[in-house]
Amino acid sequence: MRVLVTGGAGYIGSILVRELLNKGYDVIVIDRLFFGREPLNDVEDRVKIIKDDIRWFNPEILDGIDVVLDLAALSNDPSGELDPNKTIEINYKGRVRVANLSKKKNVKKYVLASTCSVYGFQDGILDENSQTNPLTTYAKSSLMAEREVLPLANEKFTVTVIRKATVYGFSYRMRFDLAVNGMVRTLWKTGRIPVMRDGTQWRPFIHIKDVARAYTLIIESDPELINGEIFNVGSDEQNIQIFNLAKMVAEACNQEFKYEWYGSPDNRSYRVSFKKIREKLGFKAKYTIAEGAREIWQAISDGKLNPDDPKTITVNWYKHLIEMQKIIKEIEVNGQIL
Protein backbone atom coordinates (compact mmCIF):
# COMPACT_ATOMS: atom_id res chain seq x y z
CA MET A 1 0.00 0.00 0.00
CA ARG A 2 1.29 3.45 -0.95
CA VAL A 3 0.75 6.18 1.64
CA LEU A 4 1.41 9.88 1.04
CA VAL A 5 2.02 12.03 4.13
CA THR A 6 1.86 15.80 3.74
CA GLY A 7 3.97 17.48 6.40
CA GLY A 8 5.85 14.21 6.83
CA ALA A 9 9.04 15.89 8.08
CA GLY A 10 7.21 17.67 10.90
CA TYR A 11 6.80 17.01 14.61
CA ILE A 12 4.13 14.32 14.25
CA GLY A 13 4.93 13.46 10.64
CA SER A 14 8.49 12.30 11.32
CA ILE A 15 7.23 9.84 13.96
CA LEU A 16 4.30 8.74 11.80
CA VAL A 17 6.53 8.05 8.79
CA ARG A 18 8.64 5.65 10.86
CA GLU A 19 5.52 3.91 12.16
CA LEU A 20 4.28 3.44 8.60
CA LEU A 21 7.65 2.09 7.47
CA ASN A 22 7.71 -0.35 10.38
CA LYS A 23 4.35 -1.65 9.19
CA GLY A 24 5.67 -2.19 5.68
CA TYR A 25 3.96 0.65 3.85
CA ASP A 26 5.47 2.40 0.84
CA VAL A 27 5.76 6.02 2.05
CA ILE A 28 5.91 9.29 0.10
CA VAL A 29 6.35 12.64 1.85
CA ILE A 30 5.43 16.13 0.67
CA ASP A 31 6.92 18.83 2.86
CA ARG A 32 8.21 22.39 2.46
CA LEU A 33 11.15 21.36 4.68
CA PHE A 34 11.14 24.68 6.55
CA PHE A 35 12.82 22.79 9.39
CA GLY A 36 15.22 20.89 7.12
CA ARG A 37 15.56 17.27 6.02
CA GLU A 38 17.24 16.15 9.24
CA PRO A 39 14.06 14.73 10.83
CA LEU A 40 14.04 12.04 8.12
CA ASN A 41 17.79 11.62 7.63
CA ASP A 42 18.05 8.06 8.91
CA VAL A 43 15.08 6.82 6.84
CA GLU A 44 15.70 8.89 3.72
CA ASP A 45 16.74 5.81 1.72
CA ARG A 46 13.35 4.22 2.48
CA VAL A 47 11.12 7.24 1.84
CA LYS A 48 10.46 9.31 -1.25
CA ILE A 49 10.71 12.94 -0.12
CA ILE A 50 9.23 15.65 -2.32
CA LYS A 51 10.01 19.25 -1.37
CA ASP A 52 6.80 20.98 -2.34
CA ASP A 53 3.75 22.87 -1.11
CA ILE A 54 0.20 21.54 -0.75
CA ARG A 55 -1.07 24.72 -2.41
CA TRP A 56 0.57 24.03 -5.75
CA PHE A 57 2.23 20.60 -5.99
CA ASN A 58 1.74 18.71 -9.25
CA PRO A 59 -1.40 16.52 -8.94
CA GLU A 60 0.42 13.71 -10.75
CA ILE A 61 2.21 13.05 -7.45
CA LEU A 62 -1.06 11.44 -6.33
CA ASP A 63 -1.06 8.88 -9.14
CA GLY A 64 -1.03 5.39 -7.64
CA ILE A 65 -1.47 6.61 -4.04
CA ASP A 66 -3.84 4.54 -1.88
CA VAL A 67 -3.98 6.69 1.26
CA VAL A 68 -3.34 10.39 1.95
CA LEU A 69 -2.60 11.51 5.51
CA ASP A 70 -2.89 15.30 5.37
CA LEU A 71 -0.82 16.81 8.18
CA ALA A 72 0.74 19.83 6.43
CA ALA A 73 -0.15 23.09 8.18
CA LEU A 74 1.21 26.15 9.92
CA SER A 75 1.07 24.63 13.38
CA ASN A 76 -0.05 26.09 16.70
CA ASP A 77 -1.91 29.27 17.63
CA PRO A 78 0.98 31.80 17.75
CA SER A 79 2.22 30.70 14.31
CA GLY A 80 -1.28 30.94 12.92
CA GLU A 81 -1.54 34.57 14.02
CA LEU A 82 1.71 35.66 12.35
CA ASP A 83 -0.22 36.01 9.10
CA PRO A 84 -3.87 34.91 9.47
CA ASN A 85 -4.51 35.12 5.73
CA LYS A 86 -1.58 32.82 5.02
CA THR A 87 -2.81 30.41 7.67
CA ILE A 88 -6.25 30.25 6.02
CA GLU A 89 -4.58 29.83 2.63
CA ILE A 90 -2.50 26.84 3.79
CA ASN A 91 -4.43 25.18 6.63
CA TYR A 92 -7.83 25.54 5.01
CA LYS A 93 -7.58 26.05 1.24
CA GLY A 94 -4.39 24.02 0.82
CA ARG A 95 -5.76 20.97 2.58
CA VAL A 96 -9.12 21.20 0.81
CA ARG A 97 -7.12 21.19 -2.43
CA VAL A 98 -5.32 18.02 -1.34
CA ALA A 99 -8.63 16.33 -0.52
CA ASN A 100 -10.27 17.26 -3.83
CA LEU A 101 -7.25 16.18 -5.86
CA SER A 102 -7.09 12.92 -3.91
CA LYS A 103 -10.66 12.15 -4.84
CA LYS A 104 -10.05 12.97 -8.52
CA LYS A 105 -6.95 10.75 -8.52
CA ASN A 106 -8.87 7.77 -7.09
CA VAL A 107 -7.13 7.75 -3.72
CA LYS A 108 -9.04 5.31 -1.50
CA LYS A 109 -8.65 6.99 1.91
CA TYR A 110 -8.05 10.57 2.97
CA VAL A 111 -7.40 11.55 6.61
CA LEU A 112 -7.42 15.19 7.71
CA ALA A 113 -5.37 16.19 10.75
CA SER A 114 -7.53 18.54 12.80
CA THR A 115 -7.36 19.58 16.44
CA CYS A 116 -9.36 19.56 19.67
CA SER A 117 -8.69 23.32 19.72
CA VAL A 118 -11.88 23.66 17.67
CA TYR A 119 -13.75 23.28 21.00
CA GLY A 120 -12.23 26.52 22.30
CA PHE A 121 -13.73 27.40 25.68
CA GLN A 122 -16.57 25.26 26.98
CA ASP A 123 -17.69 23.54 30.15
CA GLY A 124 -18.50 19.85 30.44
CA ILE A 125 -17.11 16.88 28.54
CA LEU A 126 -17.14 17.45 24.79
CA ASP A 127 -17.56 14.81 22.11
CA GLU A 128 -17.57 14.85 18.32
CA ASN A 129 -21.19 16.04 18.27
CA SER A 130 -20.62 18.95 20.67
CA GLN A 131 -20.79 22.53 19.50
CA THR A 132 -17.46 23.91 18.31
CA ASN A 133 -16.03 27.25 19.43
CA PRO A 134 -12.72 27.94 17.68
CA LEU A 135 -10.98 31.00 19.12
CA THR A 136 -7.84 31.29 16.96
CA THR A 137 -7.03 31.35 13.26
CA TYR A 138 -5.34 27.97 13.62
CA ALA A 139 -8.49 26.40 15.10
CA LYS A 140 -10.87 28.22 12.76
CA SER A 141 -8.96 27.14 9.64
CA SER A 142 -8.99 23.51 10.81
CA LEU A 143 -12.75 23.59 11.33
CA MET A 144 -13.26 25.20 7.92
CA ALA A 145 -11.24 22.40 6.32
CA GLU A 146 -13.24 19.75 8.20
CA ARG A 147 -16.52 21.14 6.92
CA GLU A 148 -15.37 21.15 3.33
CA VAL A 149 -13.62 17.77 3.10
CA LEU A 150 -16.20 15.61 4.90
CA PRO A 151 -18.89 16.05 2.19
CA LEU A 152 -16.43 14.60 -0.35
CA ALA A 153 -16.87 11.15 1.17
CA ASN A 154 -18.60 8.46 -0.88
CA GLU A 155 -18.41 4.70 -1.37
CA LYS A 156 -15.16 5.03 -3.34
CA PHE A 157 -13.49 7.81 -1.34
CA THR A 158 -13.21 7.39 2.43
CA VAL A 159 -12.78 10.65 4.35
CA THR A 160 -11.92 10.76 8.05
CA VAL A 161 -11.13 13.69 10.35
CA ILE A 162 -9.09 13.26 13.51
CA ARG A 163 -9.15 15.95 16.19
CA LYS A 164 -5.96 15.48 18.16
CA ALA A 165 -5.51 16.33 21.82
CA THR A 166 -2.42 18.38 22.69
CA VAL A 167 0.53 16.20 21.74
CA TYR A 168 3.69 15.58 23.76
CA GLY A 169 6.77 13.40 23.52
CA PHE A 170 10.11 13.08 21.76
CA SER A 171 10.29 13.71 18.02
CA TYR A 172 12.99 13.96 15.38
CA ARG A 173 11.60 17.45 14.61
CA MET A 174 11.26 18.43 18.22
CA ARG A 175 8.85 21.07 19.47
CA PHE A 176 9.28 22.75 22.85
CA ASP A 177 6.27 25.01 22.28
CA LEU A 178 3.83 22.30 23.39
CA ALA A 179 2.70 22.24 27.02
CA VAL A 180 4.38 19.11 28.39
CA ASN A 181 7.50 19.44 26.23
CA GLY A 182 7.94 23.11 27.10
CA MET A 183 7.50 22.49 30.82
CA VAL A 184 10.21 19.83 30.80
CA ARG A 185 12.59 22.03 28.84
CA THR A 186 12.26 25.03 31.15
CA LEU A 187 12.41 22.85 34.26
CA TRP A 188 15.66 21.34 32.96
CA LYS A 189 17.13 24.78 32.17
CA THR A 190 15.92 26.84 35.14
CA GLY A 191 14.55 24.52 37.80
CA ARG A 192 11.10 26.12 37.46
CA ILE A 193 8.04 25.34 35.36
CA PRO A 194 6.22 28.15 33.53
CA VAL A 195 2.45 27.99 34.09
CA MET A 196 0.07 30.00 31.94
CA ARG A 197 -2.42 31.92 34.05
CA ASP A 198 -4.62 31.04 35.77
CA GLY A 199 -3.76 27.34 35.75
CA THR A 200 -7.34 26.10 36.07
CA GLN A 201 -7.83 25.72 32.31
CA TRP A 202 -8.40 22.17 31.08
CA ARG A 203 -6.58 20.44 28.22
CA PRO A 204 -6.59 16.91 26.83
CA PHE A 205 -3.20 15.31 26.07
CA ILE A 206 -1.79 12.42 24.04
CA HIS A 207 1.67 10.98 23.41
CA ILE A 208 3.03 11.38 19.89
CA LYS A 209 3.49 7.61 19.47
CA ASP A 210 -0.18 7.09 20.29
CA VAL A 211 -1.09 9.64 17.61
CA ALA A 212 0.93 7.67 15.07
CA ARG A 213 -0.84 4.46 16.13
CA ALA A 214 -4.21 6.16 15.69
CA TYR A 215 -3.35 7.02 12.10
CA THR A 216 -2.33 3.48 11.25
CA LEU A 217 -5.44 2.13 12.98
CA ILE A 218 -7.62 4.32 10.78
CA ILE A 219 -5.73 3.23 7.66
CA GLU A 220 -6.40 -0.40 8.54
CA SER A 221 -10.04 0.04 9.61
CA ASP A 222 -13.07 -0.99 7.60
CA PRO A 223 -14.20 2.04 5.55
CA GLU A 224 -17.74 1.59 6.85
CA LEU A 225 -16.51 2.39 10.36
CA ILE A 226 -14.59 5.56 9.51
CA ASN A 227 -16.07 7.07 6.34
CA GLY A 228 -17.39 10.57 6.86
CA GLU A 229 -16.53 10.36 10.56
CA ILE A 230 -14.77 12.65 13.04
CA PHE A 231 -12.73 11.06 15.82
CA ASN A 232 -11.30 12.80 18.86
CA VAL A 233 -7.88 11.22 19.44
CA GLY A 234 -6.58 11.21 22.99
CA SER A 235 -7.19 9.69 26.40
CA ASP A 236 -10.01 10.37 28.87
CA GLU A 237 -7.51 9.91 31.69
CA GLN A 238 -5.29 12.66 30.26
CA ASN A 239 -7.77 15.51 30.53
CA ILE A 240 -5.97 17.66 33.08
CA GLN A 241 -5.79 21.23 34.38
CA ILE A 242 -2.60 23.08 33.53
CA PHE A 243 -1.44 23.73 37.10
CA ASN A 244 -1.87 20.05 37.97
CA LEU A 245 -0.03 19.17 34.76
CA ALA A 246 2.96 21.21 35.94
CA LYS A 247 2.99 19.30 39.23
CA MET A 248 2.83 16.00 37.36
CA VAL A 249 5.76 16.97 35.11
CA ALA A 250 7.97 17.96 38.06
CA GLU A 251 7.20 14.72 39.88
CA ALA A 252 7.83 12.63 36.77
CA CYS A 253 11.24 14.26 36.32
CA ASN A 254 12.02 13.74 40.01
CA GLN A 255 12.39 17.48 40.60
CA GLU A 256 11.08 19.83 43.26
CA PHE A 257 7.93 21.58 42.09
CA LYS A 258 8.73 25.25 41.57
CA TYR A 259 6.75 27.34 39.14
CA GLU A 260 6.29 30.83 37.75
CA TRP A 261 3.21 32.39 36.20
CA TYR A 262 3.28 33.89 32.72
CA GLY A 263 0.90 35.45 30.21
CA SER A 264 -2.66 36.64 30.49
CA PRO A 265 -5.37 34.20 31.61
CA ASP A 266 -5.82 31.59 28.90
CA ASN A 267 -9.15 31.89 27.09
CA ARG A 268 -9.10 28.23 26.00
CA SER A 269 -10.35 25.50 28.28
CA TYR A 270 -11.96 22.23 27.29
CA ARG A 271 -12.28 18.60 28.36
CA VAL A 272 -12.82 16.02 25.65
CA SER A 273 -14.38 12.57 25.45
CA PHE A 274 -12.46 9.91 23.53
CA LYS A 275 -15.17 7.28 23.93
CA LYS A 276 -16.01 7.11 20.22
CA ILE A 277 -12.59 6.04 18.95
CA ARG A 278 -12.20 3.65 21.88
CA GLU A 279 -15.54 1.90 21.37
CA LYS A 280 -15.72 2.06 17.58
CA LEU A 281 -12.09 1.30 16.67
CA GLY A 282 -10.68 -0.14 19.89
CA PHE A 283 -8.11 2.64 20.32
CA LYS A 284 -6.61 3.19 23.77
CA ALA A 285 -3.59 5.30 24.63
CA LYS A 286 -0.54 3.31 25.74
CA TYR A 287 1.63 6.13 27.07
CA THR A 288 1.19 8.49 30.02
CA ILE A 289 2.14 12.10 30.57
CA ALA A 290 4.67 11.04 33.18
CA GLU A 291 6.35 8.66 30.72
CA GLY A 292 6.47 11.37 28.07
CA ALA A 293 7.97 13.91 30.47
CA ARG A 294 10.67 11.48 31.64
CA GLU A 295 11.44 10.59 28.01
CA ILE A 296 12.09 14.23 27.12
CA TRP A 297 14.06 14.93 30.32
CA GLN A 298 16.32 11.97 29.57
CA ALA A 299 16.77 12.94 25.91
CA ILE A 300 17.90 16.44 26.94
CA SER A 301 20.19 15.03 29.62
CA ASP A 302 21.73 12.58 27.13
CA GLY A 303 22.29 15.28 24.51
CA LYS A 304 19.78 13.77 22.07
CA LEU A 305 17.75 16.98 22.25
CA ASN A 306 19.16 20.49 22.31
CA PRO A 307 16.91 22.68 24.49
CA ASP A 308 18.33 25.78 22.80
CA ASP A 309 17.77 24.64 19.20
CA PRO A 310 15.97 27.64 17.60
CA LYS A 311 13.91 25.33 15.38
CA THR A 312 12.12 23.84 18.40
CA ILE A 313 10.00 26.98 18.99
CA THR A 314 7.89 27.03 15.84
CA VAL A 315 6.74 30.65 15.81
CA ASN A 316 10.29 31.93 16.43
CA TRP A 317 11.66 29.83 13.57
CA TYR A 318 8.95 31.12 11.22
CA LYS A 319 9.85 34.69 12.24
CA HIS A 320 13.50 33.90 11.49
CA LEU A 321 12.59 32.55 8.04
CA ILE A 322 10.45 35.61 7.30
CA GLU A 323 13.29 37.92 8.29
CA MET A 324 15.79 35.97 6.18
CA GLN A 325 13.44 36.24 3.20
CA LYS A 326 13.27 40.01 3.67
CA ILE A 327 17.06 40.19 3.73
CA ILE A 328 17.31 38.09 0.54
CA LYS A 329 14.78 40.34 -1.24
CA GLU A 330 16.69 43.42 -0.15
CA ILE A 331 19.92 41.96 -1.49
CA GLU A 332 18.24 41.12 -4.80
CA VAL A 333 16.78 44.64 -5.11
CA ASN A 334 20.14 46.25 -4.39
CA GLY A 335 21.90 43.97 -6.86
CA GLN A 336 24.21 42.58 -4.22
CA ILE A 337 25.62 39.09 -4.35
CA LEU A 338 25.29 36.65 -1.48
- Binning pLDDT at 50, 70 and 90, where does residue 148 land? very high
Percent of the chain surpassing pLDDT 70:
96
Residue 170 reports pLDDT greater than 80: yes
How large is the average pLDDT for residues 76-98? 94
Residue 327 reports pLDDT greater than 80: no
pTM of the predicted protein model: 0.94
- Binning pLDDT at 50, 70 and 90, where does residue 329 land? low
Distance CA 48, CA 112 (A): 21
Residue positions counted in the chain: 338
For residue 229, the Cα-to-chain-centroid distance in whole angstroms is: 19
Q: Which domains does the chain have, with CATH numbers?
A: 2-169+205-239+269-287 (3.40.50.720)
- Binning pLDDT at 50, 70 and 90, where does residue 323 land? confident
How large is the average pLDDT for residues 128-136? 96
pLDDT tens-place string over residues 266-283: 888 999 999 999 999 999
pLDDT tens-place string over residues 171-182: 999 999 999 999
pLDDT tens-place string over residues 16-65: 999 999 999 999 999 999 999 999 999 999 999 999 999 999 999 999 99
Residue 332's pLDDT is: 56
ω into residue 198 within 30 of 0, thus cis? yes
- Binning pLDDT at 50, 70 and 90, where does residue 121 land? very high
